[in-house]
Chain A
Amino acid sequence: MIEPSQEEFPSANEPQLTPELAIANLQSSDLSLRYYAAWWLGKYRIKASAAVDGLIVALEDEADRTELGGYPLRRNAARALGKLGDSRAVPGLIKCLECDDFYVREAAAQSLTMLPDRTAAPALMKLLDGGVAQAVQVLGRPHLVQPYEAVLEALGAINATEAIVLIQPFLEHPVPRVQCAAARAMYQLTQEAMYGELLVKVLGGNDLNLRRVALGDLGAIGYLAAAEAIAQCKAENSFKLISLKGLLEHQIPEKSDVLSLSDAAIRVMNLMDSLL
Protein backbone atom coordinates (compact mmCIF):
# COMPACT_ATOMS: atom_id res chain seq x y z
CA MET A 1 0.00 0.00 0.00
CA ILE A 2 1.38 3.38 -1.00
CA GLU A 3 0.20 6.61 0.55
CA PRO A 4 0.51 9.93 -1.23
CA SER A 5 1.57 11.95 1.78
CA GLN A 6 5.13 13.15 1.39
CA GLU A 7 5.29 13.69 5.13
CA GLU A 8 5.05 9.99 5.71
CA PHE A 9 8.71 9.40 6.48
CA PRO A 10 9.94 12.65 7.96
CA SER A 11 13.60 12.83 7.17
CA ALA A 12 15.95 13.60 10.02
CA ASN A 13 19.06 13.91 7.90
CA GLU A 14 18.26 17.17 6.12
CA PRO A 15 20.71 19.98 6.87
CA GLN A 16 19.12 22.57 9.14
CA LEU A 17 18.21 25.60 7.03
CA THR A 18 16.53 28.88 7.82
CA PRO A 19 14.76 30.95 5.15
CA GLU A 20 17.63 33.49 5.21
CA LEU A 21 20.27 30.80 4.83
CA ALA A 22 18.36 29.04 2.04
CA ILE A 23 17.95 32.31 0.11
CA ALA A 24 21.67 33.02 0.53
CA ASN A 25 22.52 29.44 -0.52
CA LEU A 26 20.82 29.99 -3.89
CA GLN A 27 24.07 31.83 -4.77
CA SER A 28 26.47 29.49 -2.99
CA SER A 29 29.60 28.42 -4.86
CA ASP A 30 28.59 24.86 -3.94
CA LEU A 31 26.07 23.89 -6.65
CA SER A 32 24.56 21.12 -4.54
CA LEU A 33 23.68 23.67 -1.83
CA ARG A 34 21.93 25.83 -4.44
CA TYR A 35 19.95 22.84 -5.67
CA TYR A 36 18.93 21.84 -2.16
CA ALA A 37 18.01 25.40 -1.16
CA ALA A 38 15.66 25.77 -4.14
CA TRP A 39 13.85 22.56 -3.18
CA TRP A 40 13.74 23.58 0.49
CA LEU A 41 12.20 27.00 -0.21
CA GLY A 42 9.36 25.34 -2.11
CA LYS A 43 8.87 22.51 0.35
CA TYR A 44 8.53 24.89 3.31
CA ARG A 45 6.53 27.46 1.31
CA ILE A 46 8.90 30.35 2.06
CA LYS A 47 6.95 33.15 0.41
CA ALA A 48 9.30 36.02 1.32
CA SER A 49 9.88 38.27 -1.66
CA ALA A 50 13.65 37.67 -1.50
CA ALA A 51 12.97 33.93 -1.90
CA VAL A 52 10.79 34.52 -4.96
CA ASP A 53 13.38 36.91 -6.44
CA GLY A 54 16.20 34.45 -5.84
CA LEU A 55 14.29 31.60 -7.44
CA ILE A 56 13.34 33.71 -10.48
CA VAL A 57 17.05 34.44 -11.01
CA ALA A 58 17.76 30.70 -10.65
CA LEU A 59 15.43 30.02 -13.61
CA GLU A 60 18.25 31.36 -15.80
CA ASP A 61 21.06 29.47 -14.09
CA GLU A 62 23.88 28.32 -16.40
CA ALA A 63 26.26 26.85 -13.82
CA ASP A 64 24.48 23.64 -12.83
CA ARG A 65 24.36 21.20 -15.80
CA THR A 66 23.83 17.43 -16.13
CA GLU A 67 25.76 15.22 -18.55
CA LEU A 68 22.83 15.34 -20.97
CA GLY A 69 22.69 19.14 -20.85
CA GLY A 70 19.88 19.40 -18.31
CA TYR A 71 19.49 22.23 -15.80
CA PRO A 72 18.89 20.73 -12.33
CA LEU A 73 18.71 24.06 -10.49
CA ARG A 74 16.27 25.53 -13.02
CA ARG A 75 14.04 22.47 -12.56
CA ASN A 76 13.95 22.85 -8.78
CA ALA A 77 13.47 26.62 -8.96
CA ALA A 78 10.56 26.20 -11.39
CA ARG A 79 8.93 23.59 -9.12
CA ALA A 80 9.38 25.77 -6.04
CA LEU A 81 7.89 28.85 -7.67
CA GLY A 82 4.63 27.01 -8.32
CA LYS A 83 4.33 26.28 -4.62
CA LEU A 84 4.97 29.86 -3.53
CA GLY A 85 1.99 31.24 -5.43
CA ASP A 86 3.60 34.57 -6.41
CA SER A 87 2.45 35.74 -9.83
CA ARG A 88 5.74 37.60 -10.38
CA ALA A 89 7.15 34.20 -11.34
CA VAL A 90 4.86 33.83 -14.36
CA PRO A 91 7.02 35.57 -17.05
CA GLY A 92 10.10 33.58 -16.03
CA LEU A 93 8.15 30.32 -16.06
CA ILE A 94 6.71 31.12 -19.50
CA LYS A 95 10.27 31.59 -20.75
CA CYS A 96 11.17 28.19 -19.27
CA LEU A 97 8.60 26.57 -21.59
CA GLU A 98 11.20 27.14 -24.36
CA CYS A 99 14.10 25.61 -22.43
CA ASP A 100 16.02 22.74 -24.12
CA ASP A 101 15.60 20.63 -20.98
CA PHE A 102 12.36 18.60 -21.03
CA TYR A 103 12.20 18.53 -17.24
CA VAL A 104 12.46 22.33 -16.98
CA ARG A 105 9.56 22.64 -19.43
CA GLU A 106 7.59 20.09 -17.45
CA ALA A 107 8.24 21.78 -14.11
CA ALA A 108 7.31 25.18 -15.57
CA ALA A 109 4.03 23.87 -17.00
CA GLN A 110 3.18 22.20 -13.66
CA SER A 111 3.85 25.40 -11.78
CA LEU A 112 1.79 27.43 -14.25
CA THR A 113 -1.10 25.10 -13.34
CA MET A 114 -0.73 26.33 -9.78
CA LEU A 115 -0.33 30.02 -10.71
CA PRO A 116 -3.25 30.34 -13.07
CA ASP A 117 -2.46 33.22 -15.41
CA ARG A 118 -3.91 33.40 -18.89
CA THR A 119 -0.83 35.09 -20.32
CA ALA A 120 0.81 31.64 -20.39
CA ALA A 121 -1.69 30.33 -22.95
CA PRO A 122 0.21 31.09 -26.22
CA ALA A 123 3.47 29.56 -24.97
CA LEU A 124 1.66 26.46 -23.67
CA MET A 125 -0.28 26.07 -26.92
CA LYS A 126 2.97 26.24 -28.87
CA LEU A 127 4.10 23.04 -27.10
CA LEU A 128 1.14 21.24 -28.69
CA ASP A 129 2.46 22.10 -32.21
CA GLY A 130 2.09 19.16 -34.57
CA GLY A 131 -0.74 17.70 -32.51
CA VAL A 132 -1.02 14.05 -31.59
CA ALA A 133 0.98 12.96 -34.66
CA GLN A 134 4.09 14.67 -33.31
CA ALA A 135 3.46 13.71 -29.68
CA VAL A 136 5.75 10.69 -29.67
CA GLN A 137 8.35 9.19 -27.39
CA VAL A 138 11.89 10.57 -27.62
CA LEU A 139 14.19 7.75 -28.72
CA GLY A 140 16.08 6.36 -25.73
CA ARG A 141 14.41 8.65 -23.18
CA PRO A 142 11.59 7.87 -20.76
CA HIS A 143 9.38 10.73 -21.94
CA LEU A 144 7.51 12.17 -24.92
CA VAL A 145 8.87 15.12 -26.92
CA GLN A 146 6.88 17.57 -24.77
CA PRO A 147 5.43 17.36 -21.25
CA TYR A 148 1.92 16.96 -22.69
CA GLU A 149 0.26 15.96 -19.44
CA ALA A 150 1.45 19.09 -17.65
CA VAL A 151 0.73 21.34 -20.65
CA LEU A 152 -2.85 20.07 -21.04
CA GLU A 153 -3.50 20.41 -17.32
CA ALA A 154 -2.11 23.94 -17.30
CA LEU A 155 -4.27 25.00 -20.25
CA GLY A 156 -7.33 23.71 -18.39
CA ALA A 157 -6.32 25.43 -15.16
CA ILE A 158 -5.83 28.83 -16.79
CA ASN A 159 -9.15 28.49 -18.61
CA ALA A 160 -7.60 28.78 -22.08
CA THR A 161 -10.79 28.15 -24.05
CA GLU A 162 -9.00 29.16 -27.24
CA ALA A 163 -6.99 25.91 -26.89
CA ILE A 164 -10.00 23.56 -26.97
CA VAL A 165 -9.50 22.59 -30.61
CA LEU A 166 -5.86 21.75 -29.91
CA ILE A 167 -6.63 19.78 -26.75
CA GLN A 168 -9.53 17.67 -27.95
CA PRO A 169 -7.46 15.40 -30.27
CA PHE A 170 -5.31 14.40 -27.26
CA LEU A 171 -8.31 12.44 -25.90
CA GLU A 172 -7.16 9.86 -28.49
CA HIS A 173 -3.44 9.98 -27.64
CA PRO A 174 -2.01 6.45 -27.22
CA VAL A 175 -0.70 7.18 -23.70
CA PRO A 176 -3.58 6.79 -21.20
CA ARG A 177 -2.17 9.41 -18.79
CA VAL A 178 -2.21 11.97 -21.60
CA GLN A 179 -5.82 11.02 -22.37
CA CYS A 180 -6.67 11.66 -18.72
CA ALA A 181 -5.00 15.06 -18.79
CA ALA A 182 -6.94 15.95 -21.95
CA ALA A 183 -10.24 14.84 -20.38
CA ARG A 184 -9.46 16.89 -17.29
CA ALA A 185 -8.71 20.01 -19.33
CA MET A 186 -11.73 19.53 -21.60
CA TYR A 187 -14.00 19.29 -18.57
CA GLN A 188 -12.54 22.44 -17.07
CA LEU A 189 -12.93 24.34 -20.33
CA THR A 190 -16.41 23.12 -21.29
CA GLN A 191 -17.98 21.81 -18.02
CA GLU A 192 -19.44 18.99 -20.12
CA ALA A 193 -20.16 15.83 -18.14
CA MET A 194 -18.96 13.51 -20.91
CA TYR A 195 -15.34 14.46 -20.08
CA GLY A 196 -15.82 13.83 -16.38
CA GLU A 197 -17.31 10.45 -17.27
CA LEU A 198 -14.16 9.56 -19.25
CA LEU A 199 -12.23 9.87 -15.99
CA VAL A 200 -14.86 7.91 -14.05
CA LYS A 201 -14.40 5.10 -16.57
CA VAL A 202 -10.68 5.01 -15.77
CA LEU A 203 -11.53 4.43 -12.08
CA GLY A 204 -12.97 1.06 -13.08
CA GLY A 205 -9.95 0.06 -15.19
CA ASN A 206 -7.31 -2.46 -14.21
CA ASP A 207 -4.25 -0.19 -13.91
CA LEU A 208 -3.78 0.97 -10.31
CA ASN A 209 -1.45 3.85 -11.17
CA LEU A 210 -3.89 5.13 -13.75
CA ARG A 211 -6.75 4.88 -11.25
CA ARG A 212 -4.69 7.06 -8.91
CA VAL A 213 -4.12 9.58 -11.72
CA ALA A 214 -7.87 9.70 -12.44
CA LEU A 215 -8.61 10.17 -8.72
CA GLY A 216 -6.29 13.18 -8.74
CA ASP A 217 -7.87 14.58 -11.91
CA LEU A 218 -11.43 14.19 -10.61
CA GLY A 219 -10.45 15.96 -7.40
CA ALA A 220 -8.83 18.77 -9.37
CA ILE A 221 -11.93 19.37 -11.50
CA GLY A 222 -14.38 18.75 -8.63
CA TYR A 223 -16.64 16.49 -10.71
CA LEU A 224 -19.40 15.84 -8.19
CA ALA A 225 -21.12 13.04 -10.08
CA ALA A 226 -18.02 10.90 -9.50
CA ALA A 227 -18.30 10.94 -5.69
CA GLU A 228 -19.63 7.41 -5.19
CA ALA A 229 -17.35 5.96 -7.88
CA ILE A 230 -14.39 7.56 -6.12
CA ALA A 231 -15.37 6.08 -2.76
CA GLN A 232 -15.71 2.62 -4.33
CA CYS A 233 -12.60 2.75 -6.52
CA LYS A 234 -9.98 0.07 -5.87
CA ALA A 235 -7.25 2.33 -4.56
CA GLU A 236 -5.84 3.39 -1.22
CA ASN A 237 -8.08 5.48 1.03
CA SER A 238 -5.51 8.27 1.12
CA PHE A 239 -5.89 8.85 -2.63
CA LYS A 240 -9.67 8.68 -2.41
CA LEU A 241 -9.75 11.17 0.48
CA ILE A 242 -7.67 13.69 -1.47
CA SER A 243 -9.95 13.27 -4.47
CA LEU A 244 -13.13 13.74 -2.41
CA LYS A 245 -11.53 16.72 -0.69
CA GLY A 246 -11.28 18.33 -4.14
CA LEU A 247 -14.97 17.63 -4.78
CA LEU A 248 -15.88 19.05 -1.38
CA GLU A 249 -13.91 22.24 -1.93
CA HIS A 250 -15.68 22.79 -5.26
CA GLN A 251 -18.98 22.70 -3.33
CA ILE A 252 -17.92 25.50 -0.99
CA PRO A 253 -18.46 29.02 -2.38
CA GLU A 254 -15.12 30.75 -2.82
CA LYS A 255 -14.22 33.79 -0.72
CA SER A 256 -17.41 33.66 1.31
CA ASP A 257 -16.96 34.54 4.95
CA VAL A 258 -19.87 32.40 5.98
CA LEU A 259 -19.22 28.81 5.08
CA SER A 260 -22.50 27.11 4.30
CA LEU A 261 -23.06 23.44 3.63
CA SER A 262 -25.07 22.20 0.68
CA ASP A 263 -26.59 18.71 0.63
CA ALA A 264 -23.95 17.79 -1.92
CA ALA A 265 -21.15 18.87 0.41
CA ILE A 266 -22.65 16.79 3.22
CA ARG A 267 -22.92 13.80 0.90
CA VAL A 268 -19.22 14.09 0.03
CA MET A 269 -18.23 14.39 3.70
CA ASN A 270 -20.25 11.31 4.61
CA LEU A 271 -18.27 9.39 2.00
CA MET A 272 -15.01 10.80 3.38
CA ASP A 273 -15.96 9.76 6.92
CA SER A 274 -16.51 6.20 5.70
CA LEU A 275 -12.94 6.08 4.38
CA LEU A 276 -11.23 6.95 7.67
Chain B
Amino acid sequence: MTNELIRGVDLADTPEKMITAVQKLAATQDPAAIPTLIAVFGYNNPAAAAIASAALVNLGEVAVPQLLAQIDDYNYGARAYSIRTLAAIADPRALGVLIDAAANDFAPSVRRAAAKGLGSLHWHKLDMPESQTAPKKALETLLFISEDTEWSIRYAAIVGLQTLANIPDLQQPIHTRLKEMLVTDAETAVRARILLAQNEKC
Protein backbone atom coordinates (compact mmCIF):
# COMPACT_ATOMS: atom_id res chain seq x y z
CA MET B 1 0.00 0.00 0.00
CA THR B 2 2.67 2.50 1.08
CA ASN B 3 4.94 1.28 -1.72
CA GLU B 4 2.26 2.06 -4.25
CA LEU B 5 1.79 5.56 -2.83
CA ILE B 6 5.57 6.12 -2.91
CA ARG B 7 5.53 5.14 -6.57
CA GLY B 8 2.72 7.66 -7.04
CA VAL B 9 5.05 10.43 -5.80
CA ASP B 10 7.90 9.21 -8.01
CA LEU B 11 5.67 9.16 -11.08
CA ALA B 12 3.88 12.49 -10.52
CA ASP B 13 4.65 14.57 -13.61
CA THR B 14 2.77 17.79 -12.85
CA PRO B 15 2.89 20.02 -9.75
CA GLU B 16 -0.79 19.27 -9.06
CA LYS B 17 -0.32 15.48 -9.28
CA MET B 18 2.70 15.81 -6.99
CA ILE B 19 0.65 17.62 -4.34
CA THR B 20 -2.10 14.98 -4.46
CA ALA B 21 0.41 12.10 -4.34
CA VAL B 22 2.25 13.61 -1.36
CA GLN B 23 -1.06 14.18 0.44
CA LYS B 24 -2.00 10.52 0.01
CA LEU B 25 1.41 9.32 1.15
CA ALA B 26 1.37 11.69 4.15
CA ALA B 27 -2.01 10.34 5.24
CA THR B 28 -0.55 6.84 5.83
CA GLN B 29 1.67 8.08 8.68
CA ASP B 30 3.89 5.14 7.77
CA PRO B 31 7.60 5.47 8.69
CA ALA B 32 8.39 3.71 5.42
CA ALA B 33 7.38 6.96 3.70
CA ILE B 34 10.09 9.01 5.42
CA PRO B 35 12.82 8.96 2.71
CA THR B 36 10.30 9.86 0.01
CA LEU B 37 8.81 12.69 2.07
CA ILE B 38 12.29 14.13 2.63
CA ALA B 39 13.07 13.84 -1.08
CA VAL B 40 10.01 16.00 -1.83
CA PHE B 41 11.87 18.98 -0.26
CA GLY B 42 14.12 18.96 -3.33
CA TYR B 43 11.35 19.07 -5.96
CA ASN B 44 10.90 22.86 -5.94
CA ASN B 45 7.19 22.48 -5.16
CA PRO B 46 6.51 24.58 -2.03
CA ALA B 47 2.95 23.29 -1.49
CA ALA B 48 4.09 19.65 -1.67
CA ALA B 49 7.12 20.39 0.53
CA ALA B 50 4.89 21.97 3.20
CA ILE B 51 2.67 18.86 3.25
CA ALA B 52 5.72 16.57 3.46
CA SER B 53 7.21 18.66 6.28
CA ALA B 54 3.96 18.56 8.28
CA ALA B 55 3.80 14.79 7.82
CA LEU B 56 7.38 14.37 9.05
CA VAL B 57 6.71 16.57 12.09
CA ASN B 58 3.71 14.34 12.78
CA LEU B 59 5.89 11.24 12.63
CA GLY B 60 8.23 12.95 15.09
CA GLU B 61 11.36 11.39 16.56
CA VAL B 62 11.31 8.34 14.31
CA ALA B 63 12.01 10.65 11.33
CA VAL B 64 14.96 12.42 12.93
CA PRO B 65 17.87 10.08 12.01
CA GLN B 66 16.92 10.14 8.32
CA LEU B 67 16.26 13.89 8.36
CA LEU B 68 19.75 14.40 9.75
CA ALA B 69 21.36 12.00 7.27
CA GLN B 70 19.50 13.25 4.19
CA ILE B 71 20.23 17.00 4.39
CA ASP B 72 20.81 18.29 0.87
CA ASP B 73 24.12 20.14 0.82
CA TYR B 74 23.56 21.33 -2.75
CA ASN B 75 20.03 22.76 -2.59
CA TYR B 76 19.40 25.45 0.00
CA GLY B 77 15.66 25.45 -0.64
CA ALA B 78 15.50 21.78 0.34
CA ARG B 79 17.88 22.35 3.22
CA ALA B 80 15.64 25.06 4.70
CA TYR B 81 12.72 22.60 4.78
CA SER B 82 14.89 19.96 6.49
CA ILE B 83 16.06 22.41 9.14
CA ARG B 84 12.55 23.79 9.68
CA THR B 85 11.22 20.25 10.11
CA LEU B 86 13.96 19.31 12.56
CA ALA B 87 13.31 22.51 14.51
CA ALA B 88 9.59 21.72 14.73
CA ILE B 89 10.19 18.14 15.93
CA ALA B 90 12.64 19.66 18.45
CA ASP B 91 14.56 16.42 19.07
CA PRO B 92 17.83 17.54 20.68
CA ARG B 93 19.85 15.10 18.53
CA ALA B 94 19.53 17.86 15.89
CA LEU B 95 21.65 20.26 17.97
CA GLY B 96 24.90 19.85 16.01
CA VAL B 97 23.20 20.24 12.64
CA LEU B 98 21.25 23.30 13.79
CA ILE B 99 24.38 24.94 15.21
CA ASP B 100 26.24 24.37 11.97
CA ALA B 101 23.33 25.66 9.88
CA ALA B 102 22.77 28.77 12.04
CA ALA B 103 26.43 29.76 12.14
CA ASN B 104 27.82 28.62 8.80
CA ASP B 105 25.15 28.25 6.12
CA PHE B 106 25.21 30.90 3.39
CA ALA B 107 21.42 30.89 2.87
CA PRO B 108 19.49 33.24 5.19
CA SER B 109 16.36 31.05 5.06
CA VAL B 110 18.34 28.09 6.44
CA ARG B 111 20.04 30.19 9.12
CA ARG B 112 16.77 31.74 10.34
CA ALA B 113 15.06 28.36 10.63
CA ALA B 114 18.03 26.99 12.58
CA ALA B 115 18.19 30.00 14.91
CA LYS B 116 14.53 29.65 15.83
CA GLY B 117 14.97 25.90 16.36
CA LEU B 118 18.01 26.30 18.60
CA GLY B 119 15.85 27.90 21.27
CA SER B 120 13.23 25.22 21.52
CA LEU B 121 14.85 21.75 21.47
CA HIS B 122 13.55 19.30 24.09
CA TRP B 123 16.66 19.35 26.27
CA HIS B 124 15.19 17.10 28.97
CA LYS B 125 15.34 14.17 26.55
CA LEU B 126 19.13 14.21 26.84
CA ASP B 127 21.00 12.40 29.61
CA MET B 128 23.24 14.19 32.07
CA PRO B 129 25.56 15.95 31.52
CA GLU B 130 24.44 16.66 27.93
CA SER B 131 21.09 18.03 29.10
CA GLN B 132 23.13 20.74 30.85
CA THR B 133 25.83 21.42 28.26
CA ALA B 134 23.68 21.24 25.11
CA PRO B 135 21.55 24.36 25.79
CA LYS B 136 24.73 26.28 26.61
CA LYS B 137 26.08 25.43 23.17
CA ALA B 138 22.82 26.64 21.64
CA LEU B 139 23.17 29.86 23.63
CA GLU B 140 26.74 30.43 22.42
CA THR B 141 25.65 30.09 18.80
CA LEU B 142 22.65 32.39 19.22
CA LEU B 143 24.75 35.05 20.94
CA PHE B 144 27.27 34.78 18.10
CA ILE B 145 24.72 35.21 15.30
CA SER B 146 22.92 37.99 17.20
CA GLU B 147 25.77 40.16 15.86
CA ASP B 148 25.14 39.27 12.21
CA THR B 149 25.00 42.12 9.69
CA GLU B 150 21.70 40.87 8.21
CA TRP B 151 18.68 42.11 10.21
CA SER B 152 16.57 38.98 9.67
CA ILE B 153 19.29 36.78 11.19
CA ARG B 154 19.39 38.98 14.30
CA TYR B 155 15.59 38.89 14.43
CA ALA B 156 15.62 35.07 14.34
CA ALA B 157 18.38 34.97 16.97
CA ILE B 158 16.14 36.97 19.33
CA VAL B 159 13.27 34.54 18.76
CA GLY B 160 15.64 31.67 19.63
CA LEU B 161 17.02 33.47 22.69
CA GLN B 162 13.54 34.27 24.00
CA THR B 163 12.61 30.57 24.10
CA LEU B 164 15.99 29.57 25.49
CA ALA B 165 15.41 31.97 28.40
CA ASN B 166 12.99 29.39 29.80
CA ILE B 167 16.09 27.71 31.20
CA PRO B 168 16.82 29.46 34.53
CA ASP B 169 20.61 29.10 34.26
CA LEU B 170 20.69 30.91 30.93
CA GLN B 171 18.41 33.83 31.75
CA GLN B 172 21.11 36.19 32.94
CA PRO B 173 23.30 36.25 29.79
CA ILE B 174 20.19 36.42 27.60
CA HIS B 175 18.76 39.41 29.50
CA THR B 176 22.10 41.16 29.29
CA ARG B 177 22.47 40.60 25.56
CA LEU B 178 18.91 41.72 24.78
CA LYS B 179 19.38 44.92 26.78
CA GLU B 180 22.58 45.62 24.92
CA MET B 181 20.97 45.01 21.51
CA LEU B 182 18.03 47.24 22.39
CA VAL B 183 20.45 50.15 22.65
CA THR B 184 22.74 49.34 19.75
CA ASP B 185 20.61 47.78 17.02
CA ALA B 186 19.98 50.09 14.07
CA GLU B 187 16.79 48.35 12.92
CA THR B 188 13.44 49.36 14.39
CA ALA B 189 11.99 45.94 13.60
CA VAL B 190 14.76 44.18 15.54
CA ARG B 191 14.37 46.49 18.54
CA ALA B 192 10.60 45.91 18.51
CA ARG B 193 11.16 42.15 18.60
CA ILE B 194 13.52 42.57 21.57
CA LEU B 195 10.81 44.48 23.45
CA LEU B 196 8.32 41.73 22.72
CA ALA B 197 10.78 39.12 24.03
CA GLN B 198 11.35 41.17 27.19
CA ASN B 199 7.62 41.70 27.74
CA GLU B 200 6.74 38.05 27.31
CA LYS B 201 9.54 36.27 29.11
CA CYS B 202 12.15 38.35 30.76
Contact = CB atoms under 8 A, between A and B. Distances in A.
23 contacts: A1-B44, A1-B76, A1-B77, A1-B80, A5-B150, A5-B152, A237-B112, A238-B108, A238-B152, A245-B151, A248-B188, A260-B195, A261-B192, A261-B199, A265-B192, A266-B196, A269-B193, A272-B193, A273-B116, A273-B159, A276-B113, A276-B116, A276-B155
B2 interface: no
A61 interface: no
A7 B112 contact: no
Contacts of B46: 234
Interface string A235-250: 0111001100100110
Contacts of B199: 261
A7 B159 CA distance: 22
Interface size class of A (residues with CB under 8 A): 20 to 34
Nearest to A260: B195
A260 B152 CA distance: 20
Interface string B177-202: 00000000000110111011001000
A273 B77 CA distance: 19
B178 to A, nearest CB: 13
Contacts of B151: 245
A276 B159 contact: yes
B109 A269 contact: no
Interface string A59-87: 00000000000000000000000000000
Nearest to A244: B189
10 closest cross-chain pairs (CB), A and B: A1-B77, A276-B116, A276-B112, A245-B189, A276-B156, A249-B188, A248-B189, A252-B188, A5-B108, A241-B152
B107 interface: yes
Contacts of B196: 261, 266, 269
B63 interface: no
A92 B191 CA distance: 35
Contacts of A238: 108-109, 152
B150 A7 contact: yes
A1 B196 CA distance: 30
Interface string A128-166: 000000000000000000000000000000000000000
Contact of B192 (A7, A236, A241, A252): A252
A236 B109 contact: yes
A261 B116 CA distance: 22
Considering residues B76, B109, B156, which has the most beta carbons from chain A within 10 angstroms of its beta carbon? Answer: B109
A109 B188 CA distance: 26
B149 A7 contact: yes
A237 B115 CA distance: 15
A249 B151 CA distance: 13
A172 interface: no
Contacts of A272: 155, 193
A245 B188 CA distance: 9
Nearest to A7: B150
A236 B151 CA distance: 17
A8 B77 CA distance: 13
Contact of B115 (A234, A265, A276): A276
A53 interface: no
B106 interface: yes
Contacts of A9: 106
B120 to A, nearest CB: 11
Interface string B69-96: 0000000110010000000000000000
Given A245-B151, A249-B188, A276-B113, 7 more contacts: A1-B44, A238-B108, A245-B189, A259-B192, A259-B195, A269-B193, A276-B116
B32 to A, nearest CB: 28
A3 B109 contact: yes
A237 B108 CA distance: 10
Contacts of B155: 241, 272, 276
User: By CB atoms of chain B within 10 A, which of A3, A242, A272, A276 has the most?
Assistant: A276
Contacts of B193: 269, 272
Nearest to A247: B189
Nearest to B152: A241
A212 to B, nearest CB: 14
Nearest to A270: B196
